[in-house]
Structure 1
Amino acid sequence: MISWWGALIGLALAIFLILRKLDPVYSLLLGAIVGAIIGGAGLEGTINILVKGEQSVMGTVLRVLAAGMLAGVMMDSGAAETLARTIVNKFGDRLAIFALALATMVITAVGVFIPVAVLIVAPIALEVGRNMHISKLSLLVALSGGGKAGNIISPNANTIAAAKGFGLELSQVMIADFIPAVIALIVTVVVARMIRKKGRAVLEQDLEDSTKTIKQSDLPTFKQAIVAPVIAIVLLLLGPIGTICHLPLLAKVNLDATYVLPFAAIIGALAMGKGEKIKSYAQTGVSRMTGVVMILIGAGAIGATITASTFPELLIDLIKASHVPGVLLAPLSGILMAGATASTSTGVILATGSFAKSILGFGVAPLAAAAMVHTGAIVIDQLPQGNYFHVTANAMHMDIKERSQGIFYEFLVGGSAMLTATILYGFLHLL
């Protein structure tokens, strides 16, 4: 058994190195090694802990790679852009902010990574902002808030990590996070409308600089674009729907994301008449997921170091002694880990790997724990040390100071989802 202080030093070292811009994978591995060794595991014991940690994340790795296939198809085929433009056009100028937030939410919810979703919708948002005199700050909040709402109900890496971290099916977490996502969308629209005149206006130069990677004529139709996400969602939800509707045969259907997501991606590509490009879509998906998979490896190591230590038991004892509701450890761990790494997926991976045992030790149901950790991870994951901050700044043609003004408003959106999940599932025990 590793000492609690050794494990904590290892975790603190890993976070410090990440903040100092060392590669996150090496930061996590170094933190795990140092924590295990000074915690008393010895050289051979440290290797055993690291190997055990890597084995524990292999299931998540498979599902993350599978999600990459769907993401590659949605991004490179133009399907995501078609969805965005259709939603914005249908709602019109009067509901422009709602349409932009909803478009980003939908694109993220169907498997596109949130930074990419913002990049896809940003040119459309700038056009709308110029015509409707909506500030860039308001547009940013609409896109980022909508993306956060979609991110917690998507088959993305963070949702997969939240599910597998607590031994759940991906569809279970997606369903549990639906109500918090809706609340986040509502808060996004309210906040974005309140600040629609705050900050700089969209300039003509912003529109000229907005690049479109896919020609309008090459975009699929809306009916073609929704084939892949609809197939994926329907297949993933067959079992839960059967359980809810008391249909025994359907309830026994347990389709895993490992094969559902690639299958849906291939059918979607064929429906768009782009079957010959499946190989390139797959390459895009794998390249996008490579970084996440590597972080999973590092997070598995640091997570195993902490769970092999006396820290989980000590943490439970400290919280009980302070009379703080133990259920709060779930959202707080998500907030702290995602805030430290400025990444939703890395935050969820670290929080589940490091604190799952302690959270469950308070009697919290696994699904409730997953929902609270997951929603907690979107509260302050937009901090400047992460790439999301800078990607979104570039997409909206903002400088660092202007982009920083959005952090508080994004915090309100993420916080609303986290509070909703904590109240519903942590205190009211609705799951």
Structure 2
Amino acid sequence: MTTAIDISWIGALSGLALAIILILFRLAPTYSLILGAIAGAFIGGANFADAVSILVTGTQSVQGTIIRIIAAGVFAGVMMESGSAETIAKVIVDKLGGTKAMLSLALATMIITAVGVFIPVAVLIVAPIALSVGNKMGYSKVAMLVALSGGGKAGNIISPNPNTIAAAGGFKLDVNQVMIGGLVPAIFGVVVTVILASLIKYKGTKVTDAEAAELEKANTTNLPVLSKALVTPVIAIVLLMISPIGSMIGIDALAKLKIDSLFILPFAGVIGSLALGKRKQILDYCTSGLNRMTPTILIIIGAGAIGGLITASDLPEQVVALVESSGISGTFLAPIAGILMAAATASTSTGVILATGSFSDAILNTGVAPLAAAVMTHAGATVIDHLPHGTYFHVTRNAMNMSMKDRMKVVGFESIVGLTMTIVAVVMFGFILK
């Protein structure tokens, strides 16, 4: 993204601050980001023509990410609407049994998020199973939501979800590189999740018999068998991993076969639909998936606008100079950007989009490698992305039928999981693999 317009860093910072304030006041994030970009351009010294040029240039820069997310809608629609994700979750919990409830719930949410289901939807899918298990075992809702949310966060940094696509796009990487890069931090995240949930499993409000009875009545859905439910995610994962595996084992033909997620995810969704015997539902799945992706796509357009403002300004250079003069390693700029942007928007995907769109150049200018920057920014966005001014907080609270007081108790544990993954990512990519 290039432009000859010179904008003061004060204008860029003011525009970014205004966008965040408007988001906190519940204005739609897309409008908040675009208004912030416009206001920042004027404050920074642009005229009307310059402001329009900044917006257009910025939004054009995110078109690659947008088209990949639209393509991913086919995959997401199949996984969510066909019942495949719910089948996978039920099998995991049933196989591990109630004695390993926290592990089974965390793994179930992790895996179905990792195979491309949005984290709020993943929690919604597994929550009824968690409530049923909790009623039988006497576990608290707080502990079970820690297991679900922590597992979902771990799965979210290794999934082909919009946040991962945005992290990859922001640093000009393939999505499979970012997915693989997040694997070790994700493993640490799920381990910490299980430990935390197990320590507090009897503390807090329990699931009542009446709630359990309602779940039994509602549980009448006909779900696909596991072998058919796995077709869609297995095809996607195998195809996404062909090039990385070829590189690791030294087979050049495979290493050069770089099939983009733009092709892989829709293909896996269509073949999965056929395997499920849902040929006639493919169009419905596509429509549903696109509808679920639309809010994220609109946010990306807004993030592109604010990114255009920041790139046209000298803010990135000022940030790098500040980091260097403070003596803090430039390595920390990536996770800090992810943490702050996700906290401001209370959303992993929006936080990653805003952090990469606004600060990717500044992060790379500190000498951090693109893959390291992407993984650290992505992990950082999971630290405090679950605050009450975002939808995730309320969706998960309603899914578990929790009071506001109990839901607030979960926030600290969620942050510990996100911080664990971020620390592991920084140690790995900022120091060990530097």
TM-score interval, normalised by the smaller of the two chains: over 0.9
Deviations 1:270-326 (A, max 9, x none): 101111101111111000000000000000000110111011001111111110111
Hey, what's the Cα distance between the residues in 2 that align with 1:146 and 1:210? 22
Deviations 1:392-430 (A, max 9, x none): 000000121110110000001111100000000012225
The Cα of 1:21 is off from its aligned counterpart by 0.5
Hey, what does 1:246 align to over in structure 2? 250
Contact 1:78–1:214 at 8 Å: present in 2 too? no
Q: CA RMSD in A?
A: 1.1
- Name the amino acid aligned to 2:9: W
Aligned residue pairs total 429
1:131 and 2:136 correspond: yes
Hey, what's the Cα distance between the residues in 1 that align with 2:220 and 2:183? 34
Contact 1:152–1:159 at 8 Å: present in 2 too? yes
Hey, what does 1:118 align to over in structure 2? 123
Contact 1:29–1:302 at 8 Å: present in 2 too? yes
Contact 1:78–1:220 at 8 Å: present in 2 too? yes
Relative to structure 2, which stretch is displaced further, 162-171 or 40-49? 40-49
1:169 and 2:182 correspond: no
Deviations 1:174-229 (A, max 9, x none): 0000000000000000000001011111112322444887744x211100000000
- Name the amino acid aligned to 2:133: V
Tell me which of 316, 319, 323 is aligned to 2:320.
316
Hey, what does 1:45 align to over in structure 2? 50
Deviations 1:67-105 (A, max 9, x none): 111111011100001000000011112211100100000
Hey, what's the Cα distance between the residues in 2 that align with 1:209 and 1:23? 35
Hey, what does 2:269 align to over in structure 1? 265
1:59 and 2:55 correspond: no
Hey, what does 2:3 align to over in structure 1? none
Deviations 1:25-79 (A, max 9, x none): 1000000000011101211111111111111110000111111111110111000
Change beyond 3 A, Cα 1:291–1:210: farther
Give the 5 Å matches for 1:410-429: 410-429=414-433
Hey, what's the Cα distance between the residues in 2 that align with 1:313 and 1:206? 56
Identity value in percent: 57
Give the 5 Å matches for 1:23-422: 23-210=28-215, 215-216=220-221, 218-422=222-426
The Cα of 1:163 is off from its aligned counterpart by 0.2
Hey, what's the Cα distance between the residues in 1 that align with 2:431 and 2:252? 31
Change beyond 3 A, Cα 1:83–1:123: same
Contact 2:132–2:215 at 8 Å: present in 1 too? no
Secondary structure of 1:205's match?
helix
Change beyond 3 A, Cα 1:356–1:96: same
Instruction: Provide structure 1 residue ranges, at least 5 long, that are not aligned to the other structure.
Output: none
Instruction: Provide structure 2 residue ranges, at least 5 long, that are not aligned to the other structure.
Output: 1-5
Change beyond 3 A, Cα 1:391–1:211: farther
- Name the amino acid aligned to 2:341: M
Deviations 1:233-266 (A, max 9, x none): 1111111110011001111101011111010001
Secondary structure of 1:405's match?
helix
TM-score normalised by length of structure 1: 0.98
Hey, what does 1:16 align to over in structure 2? 21
